[in-house]
Structure 1
Amino acid sequence: MEDFDVFTNKIHITKPIYKNILNKFAKDIPVTPFGPNYQSARKLLAEQCLMDGDEAGCAFHFSESVFATLRTMAIYRDEQIKLANDNLRKITSYIKPVQEIIEANPKTDDQLIDNLIKINDIDVTGVLDSIKTDDELPFHQRYLKFSSENNIDNFRRILKELPKEWTVIQLTAPYNPNENLKQMDEFRTEVDSIYLSVFTNDYLDDSDLGPFTINIPANQHKEGERPLFTELYSLLDENYKTIENAQFLNNKRLVQDYWAKREDIDLRMKSVINVMDKEWLGGWGSLLTGKLIDTKWKEKIKSTVQNTVSDWGLMGLNEKQMILLYNLMESCPVLSSQQLKSCIRKILTEHGNTERFRQTLTCCESCSKDFNLLNELCLKCLSKCFEAVHHFTLVDAIRAFSQLATQIKDCNEWATLKKAKRHPVILIVDEALDTFPWESTAALREHPASRMENIHFLYHLYKLHEGRVAAGHYVAGGGVGRYVINPEKNLDRMEKRMKSFVEYWCESWRGCTGCAPTPEQFIEYLNEADIFLYCGHGDGCRCAGGGSVVEGGGARGVCVLAGCGSVRLCRTQPRRPPRAAHLHLHVAGSPMVVGMLWEVTDLEVDKVVTTMMSLYVPSRQALPWSAVGKTKWSQGIIDVSPPGCPARPPHEPQLLRALGAARASTNFIMIASSVVARGLPVKNYQ
């Protein structure tokens, strides 16, 4: 029970009571709960499961803890569409609750009918029986709702149904009680760790372990340096002000200052990415990589690690430790020696058998036997426990796997592993971590990666388009293109550039240039297009009349939104759910949205977008877009006969690979890292 402290006037809730409260909250949630509160409770439940050693429960609750409001949006929009198209449903939606009450109280039918409907001379039960509607929803729609069907078994079922080519990873920020007390600008910088949940993985798929989670320290910084969250938001604010004030540059000195600030911001973003790589992810970045297309590498990695364990007599490692070692050795060519050794040590100690370590633990002064997770113990205690459990010193164990990593990095037979092609990675990113450029880290820089809001919507979009998904990719066309360019009529040079590109490379496309489409026309474009291109300020949804109109209107193709912050999460109040264009477009059914995380400049974005489109969209033009002269491009003039033209590169049907290659077309890290894809991996088979 609760213990009341007479001196502090507080109630200390004991562990069983605390767990009961959490479980009751999760079980008794309303049909459409308040998203942020629901997410906080699920994070607490996940952290409790992790302490209890319940890996599957931990991963499930974390899967429930992100973008709950998107699920509510989709449920509401689906119901509104049904009501708009079915007058009978409007009647039965009011009658059905009465029927349920009657069926639940069969002995008091007459009394209930008399009290609730006040009509005694009509056989209401007969009327109810005669009006039937098909309320049985497919499972992917039911799982969007907040019901008893959201459980661990169904969560596992979903993971098994997803395409086997996908690697699905979730990055979650821990629960922070200050979200209820502080302004958003204050608490958003207080993330001190990241939960990395592996839902599907090349090595996990072969085991019975199921999804698992590891906790990674985050926001680490050296003395005298800013915490990384503070630095990121600071440089984004400065980036916004610098670009916003560019219109007022009226002399040479101000122009020089502008470029000096842009270079400084670029260097700061490069530093942020480096810290994410070295101080945050380190060796754990190996868990973000996609499945190798050539399966021989997988089998070779497994056998090599298993031989090392056998040769060194390192018996007793659990299944989770083996899977972590497989992934680490697979990614060792891109990791430093220090990153490898640090990660090996943590795998061998902090992810060992907790109960066996607890039984052998002899605590030092700074440690306690009442620990929840092994990472709460000091290195000295962990080393002693490891030696007592495995009868092998930790130093020798680290040496064994370090030597294996060196062999893989230096041996000729492993030389091509570093550049081996991989299947897509789906990143589910917590709202608090979404601003970071994860795709620009060393682990993902060369791999096809897309973001998704949560497992519910990933599964929903997959089932919605399942008939067009093959080999892990949504099969899209590229022949039908629609565009809206410069609807606000104040980006003249961008308009000339993008109009000239579309007319040259995508001759059959049609759209609006230099004028705003009507809302009906905008929705028509979204419904007709295999690829919809928007070039202007923001995300363009205002052309349709708002996000809710887009949701109801539908969208069938890939959407490329080349505007500042076009896929940025906007949250104006501390406990208010975020808003974003891609959320509305996913509800409308769009399989993929490509856009920008923050403010960008039009020339550099035009380079990235046109490079991506020229790789992804087939064209009858003989020259590659990279070889076309662009000296007068900002005037709308393209030189189609430049000297020394290179051979045209092959068409890149996978949009995520085309996007990865397009990031290299700009020299600005701020531009390259801002462009992200959200949705299902897409392949153009045209």
Structure 2
Amino acid sequence: MEDFNVFTNEIELTGPAYKRILNKYVKDIPFTPNGPNYESGRKLIAEECLADGMETECAFHFSESVASSVRTLAVYRDEQIKTTENKLSKITMYIEPVNNIISSNTITKEEESLLQLLPNDLEDQKESLKKFAPKELPFHKKYMRFSSDNNVANFVKILKQLPKEWTIIQLTAHYNPNENLKPFSEYRSEISSIYLTLMTNDYSDLTSFGPLTVEIPANVTKLGEKPLFEELYSLLVENYNTIEKAQLLNNKRLIKNYWNRREDIDLRIKSVINVMYKEWLGGWSSLLTGKLEDSTLRDLVVQYVDTVIADWGFIKLTSKQKVLLYNLLESSTQLSSQQIKSCVRMILTQHGNTEDVRQILTNCESCSKDFRILNELCFECLSQCFEKIHHFSVVDGIKAFFEAATKIKDGDELTQLKKAKRKPVIFIVDELLDTFPWETLPILHHQPVTRIENIHFLYNLYMEHQDKILDGYFTSEPDVGRYVINPDKSLERMEARMSSFIKYWCGAWSGHIGEPPPPDDFLRYLSASDIFLYCGHGDGCHFAKGAANGAGVEGATGRSAALLSGCGSVRLSRAPGRTPPSGAHHSLHIAECPIVIGMLWEVTDLEVDKVVSTLLSLYVPSDAPVDWKSVGKAKWSQGIIDTDVEQRAPVSPERDLLLAVSKARGATNFTMIASSLVARGLPVRIRDQ
């Protein structure tokens, strides 16, 4: 604190003091901090780092600002397992500090009184203590905790250790002080901007430029339109009410009204996705795509951009601007002209060298040289500064890169770009943004996309399964399958459909149908199967309560791909107050389950059965005589499938589970159902024979 004003009794905080307070808060943190407060502090300091041009530090602090409470749960589980396996673990954890005291040259009075409790022969005692010294935690377990190991250097080290095939992207909501003042239902829609952080990316790897972050305006609306967040949440409430009351419909008029509402809901979710893509993200959606499998295509894009830079003399473009331009032009085949031009303008004017602009900024009524980030300046000032730095106008710069984008779109060399195969994308999504259907954005169609809680869980799952990861994929076997279908006995038609499908396509699988499984069976299915299928209400994890280990699903030893097809099976739910959100996938990831697939919100059983059966038929090899998409399904709800069909489509398996998820969305005509399906965890595929 810099100054205290005795006349107003107010403390005046200057910029440097403000930063010192933030630094002290995030560095001198308790062992298990309050999750929401810890996340708020990290967001604040990340925004400060971004304003100071400290990109790597910004990315690190944002990485600490998401799903922190789940880390505490994971640490607690590890401690409980230790205690269960070794009753002396609580005692032996104090052995190392005592050893340190004995070895120290300087001993405080308090430590001396502690040593008096030990025998006089300290050397013998030291040797005795070695027998009980606790094993040192592996680094990925240390990084999960809240300690000095959570630092920028280790964050960078982790990013370099993770598979080079992955594109890791974090989406973070900006800091909002109303989180401390308002109920969640109110402040959740007060998000004016989001931060998109590229932690790893094909072009940043090429340029040796580390993580980068861009700020994207959110909730920008046209006159008369409802803000995007409010529209999504009201849409989800109506979807829930419509499905909840469906079982009470008993006449044709009510049934017709139900289907009209379902169609209206579907149109609204399409509109949400359209606004997200075209008006909210715009050209920045180019940053969400995975690395190209064919590196020659990437090299051609680099060549196009570098040619424009050389021909026009963009001598002062920063490495960040180049990475952004590479990504934008690579995706130009899927973007509109307006999206490209608008994004080029922002890249050229708002992401240049801040100090260059500060030195040549002239007087302006609305702009000050004390600006923190370039997007605080008006377009006129940005344009003038750009022209003085590069010696040509912004309009000419936009024209130059747009012409390159047009050549990529229309030329013969890069015609494959639009349908080119890509490597996995891993989203780390802020809990405030998790409800949005990011995977169904048009630019991500038929790409392998998954979500994960934070970089800590991604690194932990990677290290725990490292021996099974090849070329960025957890390599799985499809041999052992287990299922639990309709355990509550309230979804008879779903039971008929899914049990008939399983018997037809996955005849060697076993499980429970029409009855709740014993808790130990549920855990054994998760631990011993390659694929676990749950078809029923919710996520089914409550069936593990009462198991012998006393830990619920967190007591499983996950090796399976878990497919949970109930309503909201992988959504984040919140208790009242500032309680952090939780979901079934949290517990399953703590149990080291590599991937969990499920639904973000309420869904209807017939459409979900179509999606789930298509997903399994794509991913799981089968000896069935007819491919599932060719099977007659007129009486499927009665448990009858028709294999006596004339037209038989060729079998088209998909061994990449994330691509199978993407393709399975096409099995339903309802966008509301398709966009609900998401994967959380590691990229998974069946091992090549």
Q: TM-score normalised by the shorter chain: which range applies?
A: over 0.9
1:591 aligns with 2:586: no
* Partner of residue 268, structure 1: 268
Partner of 1:204, secondary structure, is helix
CA contact under 8 A between 1:486 and 1:514: conserved in structure 2?
A: yes
Partner of 1:431, secondary structure, is coil
Give the Å deviation of 1:148. 1.2
Distance 1:679 1:666 in 2: 24
Partner of 2:554, secondary structure, is helix
Within 5 Å, which residues of 2 pair with 1:458-469?
458-469=458-469
* Partner of residue 640, structure 2: 637
CA contact under 8 A between 2:564 and 2:598: conserved in structure 1?
A: yes
* Partner of residue 197, structure 2: 197
* Partner of residue 19, structure 1: 19
* Partner of residue 498, structure 1: 498
Shift of the 107–152 alpha-carbon distance from structure 1 to 2, 3 Å rule, reads closer
Scaled by the length of structure 2, the TM-score of the pair is 0.96
* Partner of residue 673, structure 2: 671
Encode CA deviations 1:627-659: one digit per residue, 9 max, x unaligned.
Answer: 00111111111111122222222x210001111
* Partner of residue 559, structure 2: 556
Shift of the 540–396 alpha-carbon distance from structure 1 to 2, 3 Å rule, reads same
Aligned counterpart in structure 2 of residue 566 of structure 1, from 569, 572, 591:
569
* Partner of residue 662, structure 1: 664
- The residue type equivalent to 2:590 in the other structure is V
* Partner of residue 302, structure 1: 302
- The residue type equivalent to 2:636 in the other structure is W
Within 5 Å, which residues of 2 pair with 1:271-290?
271-290=271-290
* Partner of residue 529, structure 2: 529
1:404 aligns with 2:407: no
Unaligned runs of 5+ residues in structure 2 are none
Give the Å deviation of 1:371. 0.4
CA contact under 8 A between 1:616 and 1:655: conserved in structure 2?
A: yes
CA contact under 8 A between 1:201 and 1:291: conserved in structure 2?
A: yes
Shift of the 457–115 alpha-carbon distance from structure 1 to 2, 3 Å rule, reads closer
1:625 aligns with 2:628: yes
Scaled by the length of structure 1, the TM-score of the pair is 0.97
- The residue type equivalent to 1:49 in the other structure is C
Shift of the 260–20 alpha-carbon distance from structure 1 to 2, 3 Å rule, reads same
Within 5 Å, which residues of 2 pair with 1:65-214?
65-93=65-93, 106-107=106-107, 112=111, 114=113, 125-126=125-126, 129-214=129-214
CA contact under 8 A between 1:548 and 1:584: conserved in structure 2?
A: no
Distance 1:103 1:184 in 2: 51
- The residue type equivalent to 2:231 in the other structure is E
* Partner of residue 35, structure 1: 35
Distance 2:221 2:128 in 1: 66
Partner of 1:11, secondary structure, is strand
Distance 2:460 2:317 in 1: 37
CA contact under 8 A between 1:450 and 1:679: conserved in structure 2?
A: yes
Distance 2:629 2:68 in 1: 42
* Partner of residue 257, structure 2: 257
Give the Å deviation of 1:129. 2.2
Partner of 1:203, secondary structure, is helix
* Partner of residue 345, structure 2: 345
Give the Å deviation of 1:413. 2.8
Shift of the 264–9 alpha-carbon distance from structure 1 to 2, 3 Å rule, reads farther
Deviates more, 1:225-234 or 1:552-561: 552-561
* Partner of residue 57, structure 1: 57
Encode CA deviations 1:371-429: one digit per residue, 9 max, x unaligned.
Answer: 00000001000000000111111111111111111111122332221111100100110
Deviates more, 1:313-322 or 1:468-477: 313-322
- The residue type equivalent to 2:580 in the other structure is P
Shift of the 119–446 alpha-carbon distance from structure 1 to 2, 3 Å rule, reads closer
Distance 1:225 1:40 in 2: 30
Give the Å deviation of 1:26. 1.3
Distance 2:6 2:112 in 1: 53
- The residue type equivalent to 2:286 in the other structure is S
Partner of 1:87, secondary structure, is coil
Distance 1:117 1:565 in 2: 59
Distance 2:313 2:113 in 1: 79
- The residue type equivalent to 1:595 in the other structure is G
- The residue type equivalent to 1:598 in the other structure is W
Q: CA RMSD in A?
A: 1.9
Give the Å deviation of 1:117. 8.2
Encode CA deviations 1:14-65: one digit per residue, 9 max, x unaligned.
Answer: 1111111111111111111111111111111100000111011001110111
CA contact under 8 A between 1:182 and 1:574: conserved in structure 2?
A: no
Partner of 2:572, secondary structure, is coil
Give the Å deviation of 1:493. 0.4
Encode CA deviations 1:91-142: one digit per residue, 9 max, x unaligned.
Answer: 3135555555666685457x75656986889979558625423421111111
- The residue type equivalent to 2:82 in the other structure is K
CA contact under 8 A between 2:3 and 2:13: conserved in structure 1?
A: yes
CA contact under 8 A between 1:571 and 1:577: conserved in structure 2?
A: yes
- The residue type equivalent to 1:174 in the other structure is H
* Partner of residue 221, structure 1: 221
- The residue type equivalent to 2:294 in the other structure is D
Distance 2:119 2:650 in 1: 84
Report the identity percentage.
Answer: 59
Give the Å deviation of 1:12. 2.8
Deviates more, 1:651-660 or 1:92-101: 92-101
* Partner of residue 487, structure 1: 487
- The residue type equivalent to 2:683 in the other structure is P
Distance 1:94 1:310 in 2: 63
- The residue type equivalent to 2:670 in the other structure is F
Give the Å deviation of 1:71. 1.1
Partner of 2:432, secondary structure, is helix
- The residue type equivalent to 2:482 in the other structure is R
- The residue type equivalent to 1:567 in the other structure is V
- The residue type equivalent to 1:679 in the other structure is G
Distance 1:163 1:120 in 2: 51
Distance 2:116 2:88 in 1: 19
Distance 2:211 2:405 in 1: 25
Within 5 Å, which residues of 2 pair with 1:355-504?
355-504=355-504
CA contact under 8 A between 2:32 and 2:146: conserved in structure 1?
A: yes
Partner of 1:168, secondary structure, is strand
Deviates more, 1:419-428 or 1:144-153: 144-153
Distance 1:557 1:294 in 2: 30
Give the Å deviation of 1:482. 0.4
Encode CA deviations 1:220-276: one digit per residue, 9 max, x unaligned.
Answer: 111111110000000000100100011110111110111111111111100000010
Partner of 1:209, secondary structure, is coil
Aligned counterpart in structure 2 of residue 652 of structure 1, from 651, 654, 658:
654
Give the Å deviation of 1:177. 0.7
Give the Å deviation of 1:364. 1.6
* Partner of residue 683, structure 1: 685
Shift of the 260–117 alpha-carbon distance from structure 1 to 2, 3 Å rule, reads farther
Encode CA deviations 1:146-189: one digit per residue, 9 max, x unaligned.
Answer: 11111111111111111111100100001111000000000000
- The residue type equivalent to 2:537 in the other structure is H
CA contact under 8 A between 1:309 and 1:315: conserved in structure 2?
A: yes
Partner of 2:144, secondary structure, is coil
- The residue type equivalent to 1:312 in the other structure is W
- The residue type equivalent to 2:531 in the other structure is I
Distance 2:99 2:304 in 1: 64
Distance 1:7 1:229 in 2: 44
Give the Å deviation of 1:4. 4.3
Shift of the 107–383 alpha-carbon distance from structure 1 to 2, 3 Å rule, reads closer
* Partner of residue 600, structure 1: 603
Encode CA deviations 1:424-476: one digit per residue, 9 max, x unaligned.
Answer: 10011000000000001122123110001111110110111010001111000
CA contact under 8 A between 2:119 and 2:125: conserved in structure 1?
A: no
- The residue type equivalent to 1:208 in the other structure is S
- The residue type equivalent to 1:637 in the other structure is I
CA contact under 8 A between 2:435 and 2:600: conserved in structure 1?
A: yes
